[in-house]
Amino acid sequence: MSRIAVIIVTHNSEAVIGRCVAALDKQAGPPVSVIVVDSGSRNQDYLRVFGDRPGFEVLAAGDIGFSRANNLGYQHLTADVEYVVFLNPDVFVEPDTLLQAVRVMD
């Protein structure tokens, strides 16, 4: 399986990001890393649970906006990542989404 990283930019997304991450956990070809970039949420406490997970990195930034937050996440990728998926926190992928995407790209 190809090495996939997922970048999720969040801003006050505590109501939906848990479901987004749960959908990633169910992937047939799970990502090797998930980078969550918080762009100025009022309360970042909801992100602590993700920082303790293997393969997860949580980056706290000020309110830098969506594009800059994605770029920040991209800068933290490791060299062994082959594909990057940018997800909004309110996207809940089906269990074979990443596997099917890699099959098309490979």
The reported pTM is 0.92
CATH number for 28: 3.90.550.10
pLDDT one digit per residue (tens) for the chain, 106 residues: 458 999 999 999 999 999 999 999 999 876 778 999 999 999 888 888 888 888 899 999 999 999 999 999 999 998 889 999 999 999 999 999 999 988 898 8
Q: Could you give the number of structural domains in the chain?
A: 1
Domain assignment of residue 11, given as a range: 4-105
Say how far apart CA 37 and CA 7 lie, in whole Å.
7
Predicted confidence at residue 13, as pLDDT, reads: 95
- What is the SS3 string spanning the chain? CCCEEEEEEECCCCCCHHHHHHHHHCCCCCCCEEEEEEECCCCCHHHHHHHCCCCEEEEEECCCCHHHHHHHHHHCCCCCCCEEEEECCCCCCCCCHHHHHHHHHC
